[in-house]
Amino acid sequence: MTRVVRVASGQGFWGDWLEAPRRQADGGPIDYLMLDYLAEVTMSILQKQKERDPSLGYARDFIGAMESVFAAVAQRGVRVVANAGGVNPVACAAAVREAARRAGVSEQIRIGIVTGDDLLPRIDALLAEGHALANMETGEPLSTIRDRVLSANAYLGAPPIVDALGRGANVVVTGRSTDTALTMAPLLYEFGWRLDDWDKLAAGIVAGHIIECGAQCSGGNCLYDWRTIPDLANIGYPIVEGHEDGSFVIYKHPNTGGRIDVHSVSEQLVYEMGDPHSYITPDVIADFTTIHLERAGADRVRVFGIRGRPPTDKLKVSIAYRAGFKALGTLVYAWPDALEKARLADRVLRERLDRLGLAFDAVHTEFLGASATHGALAGPAGDVPEVQLRIGVRGPDRKAVERFTREIAPLVLNGPPSVTGFAGGRPKTEEVVAYWPALVDKRVVTPAVTMDEP
Amino acid sequence: MKIRLLDIAHARSGDKGDTANVGVIALEPRWYPLLERELTRDRVARHFAGAITGGVERYELPNLGALNFLLHGALGGGGTLSLKTDAQGKVFSTALLRLELDVPDAEARRLGLPGAGG
């Protein structure tokens, strides 16, 4: 029998199902447990937490996840790869170590810590050296928001994770690694693929893309024939069964719900896709138009034929910056003529905001139940039972946003009739931390691996 | 005859900044050429006129029986800046599937499209 390497996805974002890591570790044999915690906005949330407490800044759910899989790691040789480190991988590793001590397994836990992604302390030096860190979408130079930057992290690829595995780590904690590297690195390490074997590296990236959102490829959020997808309450998260030649099978543990077929995998492949010819990562550019899918049994899909080519000399950088304040208020209007009443309330509220002289960068109104998600495409709503008025403002002036939050509740008594649903009190004003994608020369970023051993 | 995209394709959408992507996948592989011919960039741009502030790009993935559309300026600034319920473009997928294509009756029957009789 040819050798296979099994990489199981146990978390698709910070906030995903707490049960999933343990179910993957205990539901059948696996070699690696891959946990993806970082979305674009997550780094900025973590940076704010670190500012308040220097021992924080990582995905704290990860500690509970580790506690639920320590037995598998310590006794059955399962290795964990996670980008849970956020903006503080060292503190994250220390928390894992402490949890391992409490669980009495510290002797068996070897943690590899990947750092080098944090560019925040170096931003001014980089700008001075001529790295513009311009916004990839708008072209604006970073200097326009320099004084509001909260965090800046380069997306690292697979090699430092491979290095950590090679040094014996059975738990690898990274900061801002790419989501796909978390899956590709174990395959690269186990099969000893060359770093210029573009097709195989691309295959590893595609495998990572398919399982990086957890159950979103195994029946979760799946539109195709959704009514017949069995037992979502017991959904199985996906596992990559990797082969040395770069082909792989997506499957899930037996006796779990959900569904893995060509349709569910196809939906995940197109998720957040840009130009399919060029899925750019630090290690390789994968061509999604070369992917072939075929059924390989019940809840098994074989993926093969993937082609790749050399990467660029840049790394993507995720920069978070303070971008003003926002608040959202809601009220519910009931039949009859619910939409008409909600529309009148919106006009009244806007007129009052104008008279108060409050200026915002954006004021946005939606009518949930009538047109919030599909807008005019939804067509006439008819005389629906109720409509939720949802109005939001965003602007640089916290005081103006806070004044807005006090203008919602009065409408209950001094606006249109048949209104309810205000029990939550005044809306909260929150600071907006926005995302600034940029590129930087690869040569200025040096990933590092340190080992935390018992 | 009019064929609703929902009856011949499934879809998933997501975000990248202020751009929503919608991947549209033919329910049957033999229906993909029809999608490639009829579901043009301009057709999709007309469908979303007024709902997005930027342009539309289209990419073909015949290997998956899929088309990928990028809808620029779709998310009210995107990410945390957006005030929209669907700030991450998650349900642009079904918004696109509302689109109706004009398909010659004979072709609809030949392809066995839903509602074409046959």
Write the pLDDT tens digit of every residue in B86-116. Answer: 999 999 999 999 999 999 999 999 999 998 8
Q: Do B23 and A326 touch (CB under 8 A)?
A: no
Residue A447, in any domain of the structure: no
Average pLDDT, chain A: 96
For residue A348, pLDDT over 70 is answered with: yes
What is d(CA A296, CA A249) in angstroms, rounded to the nearest whole number?
Answer: 8
Same domain? A285 vs A257: yes
A247: closest CA among A300, A309, A179?
A: A300
- Give dist(CA B98, CA B55) in Å, integer: 19
Backbone angles phi, psi at A414, to 5 degrees: -120, 20
What mean pLDDT comes out for the span A33-44?
89
Q: Which of B51, B60, B62 sits opposite A375 (nearest CB)?
A: B51
Q: What does the pLDDT look like over A351-376, one tens digit per residue?
A: 999 999 999 999 999 999 999 999 99
Q: Are A31 and A190 in contact (CB under 8 A)?
A: yes
- In a domain, residue A445? The reply is no
Read off the pLDDT of residues A132-149 as tens digits, 9 standing for 90 and up: 999 998 999 999 999 999
Q: How far apart are CA A98 and CA A330, in angstroms?
A: 43
Is A148 part of a structural domain of the chain? no
Mark whether A166 and A65 lie in a shared domain.
yes
What's the rounded Cα separation, in Å, for the pair B63 and B65? 6
Q: Which residue has the higher pLDDT, A41 or A377?
A: A377
Judged by a CB distance cut-off of 8 A, whether residue A304 touches chain B is no
Domain boundary residue, one of A311, A340, A360: A311
CB-defined contacts A:B, below 8 A = 123
User: Is the pTM here over 0.90, yes or no?
Assistant: yes
Sort strands A279-280 and A285-287 into parallel, antiparallel or unpaired.
Answer: antiparallel
Q: Do β-strands A386-395 and B66-71 pair in parallel, antiparallel, or remain unpaired? A: unpaired
Domain identity same for A109 and A218:
yes
Contacts of A275 (CB under 8 A, 6+ apart): B59
Residues A333 and A254 in one domain: no
Evaluate whether A174 touches A160 at the Cβ level (below 8 Å). Answer: yes
In angstroms, what is the C-alpha Rg of chain A?
Answer: 24
CA distance, residue B84 to nearest chain A CA (Å): 7
Interface test with B, best of A273, A301, A389, A391 (most B CBs within 10 A): A273
Share of chain A above pLDDT 70, in %: 100
User: Which pLDDT score is estimated for A326?
Assistant: 98
Q: Is the peptide bond before A121 cis (omega within 30 degrees of 0)?
A: no
Owning domain of residue A208: 4-117+155-311
Chain A contact probe: residue of B83, B90, B91 with most A CBs at under 10 A: B83
Q: Are residues A35 and A83 in the same domain?
A: yes
> Cβ(A386)–Cβ(A373) under 8 Å?
no
Q: How many whole angstroms separate alpha carbon A56 and alpha carbon A50? A: 5
Same domain, A372 and A240: no
Q: How far is A395 from chain B (nearest CA, A)?
A: 10
For residues A253 and A360, membership in a common domain is answered with no
Q: Check if the beta carbon of residue B39 is closer than 8 Å to that of residue B48.
A: no
Among residues A252, A285, A311, the one where a domain terminates is A311
Residue that the structure tokens 């993926």 belong to: A303
Asked if residues A69 and A45 have their Cβ atoms less than 8 Å apart, the reply is no
A186 and A219, same domain (yes or no):
yes
- In this structure, is residue A125 part of a structural domain? no
> From CA B64, how far away is CA B57, in angstroms rounded?
18
State how far residue B37 is from chain A, nearest Cα, in angstroms. Answer: 18
- Residue A230 CA: distances (Å) to CA of A22, A28, A219, B112: 21, 20, 8, 28
Query: At A365, which CATH number?
Result: 3.30.70.1150
Q: What value does the mean pLDDT take over residues A167-192? A: 98
User: What single-letter amino acid sits at B89?
Assistant: G
DSSP A202: H
Of A41, A273, A277, the CB nearest to B80: A41
Residue A142 in domain: no
To 5 degrees, how large is the angle CA A212–CA A178–CA A441?
Answer: 160
Distances (CA, A) of A241 to A38, A368, A440, B98: 24, 43, 34, 37
> B23–A273: do the CB atoms touch at under 8 Å?
yes
- Closest alpha carbon to A49 in A124, A148, A150: A150
Whether A32 shows a pLDDT value over 80: the answer reads yes
Q: Rounded to whole angstroms, how far apart are CA atoms A427 and A65?
A: 33
pLDDT of residue A103: 98
Asked if B79 lies within 8 A of A137 by C-beta distance, the reply is: no
Longest dimension (CA), chain A: 76
User: At B79, is the pLDDT very low, low, confident or very high (cuts 50, 70, 90)?
Assistant: confident
- Cβ distance of B17 and A41 shorter than 8 Å: no
In a domain, A394, yes or no: yes
Amino acid letter for position B37: R
Whether residue A196 sits in one domain with residue A340: no
- Number of domains chain A is built from: 2
Residue A90 domain flag? yes
Write out chain B residues lying below 8 Å of A148, CB-based: none
Residue A41 binned pLDDT confidence (cut-offs 50, 70, 90): confident
The helix (H) or strand (E) run that includes residue A339 is helix A338-355
pLDDT tens for each residue of A101-127: 999 999 999 999 999 999 999 999 999
Per-residue pLDDT at A1: 52
Rounded Cα gap, residues A332 and A440, in angstroms: 48
* Lowest pLDDT segment from A197-206, A386-395, A420-429: A420-429
Whether the CB of A263 is below 8 Å from some CB of chain B: the reply is: yes
CA distance B110 to A348: 55
For residue A282, what are the CA distances in angstroms to A84, A190, A315? 19, 20, 6
The dihedrals phi and psi of A90, each to the nearest 5 degrees, come to -65, -45
Residues A295 and A420 in one domain: no
So what's the ipTM on this one?
0.98
- Residue ending a domain, among A258, A279, A311, is A311
Cβ contacts of B70 on chain A, cutoff 8 Å:
274
Average pLDDT over residues A373-391: 95
Report the pLDDT value the prediction gives residue A372, as an integer from 0 to 100: 94
Q: What 3-state DSSP class applies to A411?
A: helix
Q: Is the C-alpha dihedral spanning A420, A424, A426, A430 positive or negative? A: negative
d(C-alpha B30, C-alpha A115), whole Å: 49
- CB count, 10 Å around CB of B32? 23
- Mean pLDDT for chain B? 96
B76: chain A residues, CB-CB within 8 Å: 362, 364
Instruction: Choose the closest CB to B12 out of A223, A290, A328.
Output: A223
Instruction: Bin B85: left if φ > 0, else alpha if -120 < ψ < 50, else beta.
Output: alpha
Give the pLDDT of residue B115.
84
Non-local CB neighbours of A366 within 8 Å, separated by 6+ positions? A372, A389, A390, A391, B84, B85
My answer on whether A71 and A109 are in the same domain is yes
pLDDT-derived band at A72 (thresholds 50, 70, 90) equals very high
Mean pLDDT for A332-359 is 98
Q: Which residues of B touch A328 (CB under 8 A)?
A: 83
The answer to whether residue B88 neighbours chain A at the CB level (below 8 Å) is no
Q: Is B36 exposed, middle or buried (0-12, 13-18, 19+ CB in 10 A)?
A: middle
Same domain, A91 and A191: yes
Q: Render pLDDT for B8-48 as a digit per residue (tens, 0 to 9).
A: 999 999 999 999 999 999 999 999 999 999 999 999 999 99
Please tell me the predicted confidence (pLDDT) of residue B118: 56
Helix axes A181-191, A159-166, angle to 10 degrees: 50
Residue A224 forms part of a structural domain: yes
Alpha carbon distance A150, A135 (integer Å): 15
Instruction: Calculate how close chain B gets to A108, using CA atoms only, in Å.
Output: 40
- Any B CB within 8 A of A377 CB: yes
**H-state helical runs in A192-293:** 198-211, 262-269
| Residues of chain A with C-beta less than 8 angstroms from the C-beta of B63 | 289-292
Q: What is the pLDDT of residues A236-290, one digit of tens each?
A: 999 999 999 999 999 999 999 999 999 999 999 999 999 999 999 999 999 999 9
Judged by CB atoms closer than 8 Å, whether chains meet at A276 and B59 is answered as: yes
